[in-house]
Structure 1
Amino acid sequence: MENTTISLKEQYQQFKNENPKVRIRDAAKQLGVSEADLVAIGDSNIRLRPEFKEILNEISTLGHVMALTRNDYAVHERQGTYTKASFNGHVGLVANPDIDLRLFMNAWHFGFSVQEGDRRSFQFFDKDGKAVHKIYLTEQSDVQAYETLIATYRAPEQDVPLQTEEIDKSISESPDSEINVAGFQQAWMDLKDTHHFFGMLREFGVSRLQAMRLAPKEYAVQISVPSLKRILEGVSERDLEIMVFIGSRGCIQIHTGKAKKLLQTGPWFNILDPEFNMHLREDAIESVWLVKKPTKDGIVTSLEAFDADGNIIAQFFGKRKPGIPEREDWRQVVADYTINV
């Protein structure tokens, strides 16, 4: 095994020499390994014991940090301070105005402290070696607290090979003809809380993209892919506050606030604000849906972007809290900038 590790180290070093600007995630793909495999062989990186709930509950000691969650086509970076997480079985919650996370701990399998030049971070991975969440130190972070956490949670065995395994992430979908469409549509119209939407999909055996097709009339309308960027440009121009949801298998990360500085870089559409960055790969968006969900506070309007495999890439809402109706300025900007397919 040692020879394989050395070989991979050499391959990775050669790759970095030839491709100094390629990120580790893309390097792993090109080398045919997982990102976690490359992190594990880093000389300055330290494997952590898989006590992830305990680690998360001590991240607040770091002070101001940058939280990063991504999937294949969207990256969400939010600066702020963690508060203590609460857990109900495998599901966790970190909720404050800065760092707002929904955690799915059954997808957290490996953890490392990572040093890349001057950048220090904690990075967590699924069993297939894909990153589920990363926490980067900033100039304001407490470096001593970071070192203390490493000392506390350092794994006793650092050279044990990672046992990664493939995860079947294909979306199984029953034929529309086997779905109780009338019952599903009624349940949608009877919703009282957006958080019950996923449970409704499971109850009727409907995939998320299939739900868009089978939704009650006017509750899910496919709009043009360029509409999403146009709406976000309208949000920036009108100084609105929105909510941006981007997730991995193990974490959904939420930004609530403004989206002011917008920039296109090749296929990536970016929000580049001081405390919040989003990177969205436009050419990977297969469809965008304008979705309406009833709640006890009235209709809630979202934009949902999907890839070609039916996976959700990102969701956008107007800023809202339970007990308060949706903002009219959000509904207006969506209406003003939407182009239907």
Structure 2
Amino acid sequence: MSTPVRVDANSPQALREAWHALTAQGRLRIREAAQKLGVSEAQLLATGVGGHVVRLGGDLRDLMMRMGELGHVMALTRNEAAVHEKDGNYTNISHGDQVGLVLGEDIDLRLFYDKWTFAYAVEEKVGSETRRSFQFFDACGDAIHKIYLRDDADPFAFEALRDAWAAPVQIPGETVLPRPASLKPERSDDAVDVEALRADWHAMRDTHQFFGLLRKHQVSRTQAFRLAGEAFAKPLFTNTPARVLQAAAAGALDIMVFVGNSGCIQIHTGPVKRIERMGPWINVLDPGFNLHLREDLVAQVWLVKKPTTDGVVTSIELFDAQGEFIAYFFGKRKPGIPETTGWRMLAESMGTR
């Protein structure tokens, strides 16, 4: 990453001017501009509050419950190494205290509202068109989830929701928290009861029990993989993701692609067809679903097997150099339905390191 440009992050005007100066040099996405300026994306976006950006307040869970009113949209969730874009409608929306679900036919989300801090309604001029979106960020100003209206969406519903959730204060600028250090250091392997870990893994009957296993044994996900042994987890080569996508496309195989961050996980279930490489990016460019994955940021890939009442569930899981989750690949499945033989054969055909 290039050295950030020196700019007063506490001055919305200075930030806005520096941003405009950068974009005058060439096309630059807001996330990239924020990195160059050494600020968060929310800080940069909030320089437009009072103009094309409206700061939102109130209960964001209730706002999300209303997103179906927009009609046809594109849902976007990303992390540093992967971008997941899915077209559809927000349907079958629910939430508890801090966890929300969107279980639509096309848009499938897990929402962790304790991480949601800032929200904005944005109307940008792109040529002669107006691009409308709702954008949500964590306390550090990093993007959690974005919702872009497609051409056939309802702009009047957008305006109604924007106005209903508009915060009372519409002053440019945002104060964010500093980003914490990456994942906390792992416990020493010697401090882990490996036999007990393996026994609990073998006893799993649902994939969701894996989170409890990690907490019980106080291990990270990748540490658990490393200690579980090859019966449960095997390291794969870092070029595996492209090979998985290409093989799934060639075999017309329905798969599940999970991409997320601390506040949202977004899931595609179905085929992948058009796979293209562009520089360090491997891309799925299908109608209704795009995936953009930075292969050069993939540091670990694991073939993982979890026992369930429906049989073994096989996944291929991607992590960066800090052990942060990038993406997961599964075969298409639902509770009560075993994974397909085709997916298991594809996953197991990937060479181990």
Alignment of 1:127 onto 2:139 = yes
Q: CA RMSD in A?
A: 1.5
Q: CA deviation at 1:55?
A: 0.7
**Equivalence map 1:245-260=2 (5 Å):** 245-260=258-273
- 3-state DSSP class of the match of 2:239? helix
Which of 281-290 and 44-53 deviates more?
Answer: 44-53
Among 30, 37, 48, the residue aligned to 2:43: 37
User: With structure 2 as the length reference, what TM-score do the two structures score?
Assistant: 0.93
What does the per-residue CA deviation read over 1:64-119, in whole Å, with 9 as the maximum and x for residues that have no partner? 10000000000000010102432222111111221111110011000001122221
Deviation at 1:2, TM superposition (A): 11
- 1:16-37 CA distances to partner (integer Å, 9 max, x unpaired)? 111x321100100110111001
CA contact (8 A) 1:58 1:84 kept: no
Which deviations, in whole Å up to 9, do the C-alpha atoms of 1:115-136 show, x marking residues without a partner?
A: 2222110000000000000000
From 23, 29, 36, the equivalent of 1:23 is 29
Q: Which runs of 5 or more residues in structure 2 are unaligned?
A: 1-7
Partner of 1:340 in structure 2? 352
Pair 1:98 & 2:106 matched? yes
2:63 paired with 1:55:
yes
Query: Does the 8 Å contact 1:241/1:257 carry over to 2?
Result: yes
Q: Please, which runs of 5 or more residues in structure 1 have no aligned partner?
A: none
1:145 aligned partner: 157
Query: Which residue does the alignment assign to 1:321?
Result: 334
Q: Structure 1's 6 and 227: CA in aligned 2 closer, same or farther, altered over 3 A?
A: closer
**Which deviates the most, 176-185 or 65-74?**
176-185
Partner AA of 1:38 in structure 2: L
Q: 1:68 to 1:60 in 2, by over 3 A?
A: same
Greater shift in the superposed pair: 168-177 or 50-59: 168-177
Pick one of 285, 299, 306 that aligns with 2:298.
285
Alignment of 1:165-314 (within 5 A): 165-172=177-184, 173-314=186-327
Corresponding residue number in structure 1 for 2:87? 79
Give the corresponding residue for 2:116.
Answer: 108
| TM score, norm. by length of structure 1 | 0.96
Match of 2:3 in 1: none
* Identical amino acids, percent of aligned pairs: 47
Contact persistence 1:82–1:99 (CA under 8 A) = yes
Q: Which amino acid letter does the alignment assign opposite residue 126 of structure 1? A: D
2:24 and 2:58 map into 1 onto residues whose CA distance is 32
Deviating above 2 A after TM superposition, structure 1's stretches of 4 or more consecutive aligned residues are none
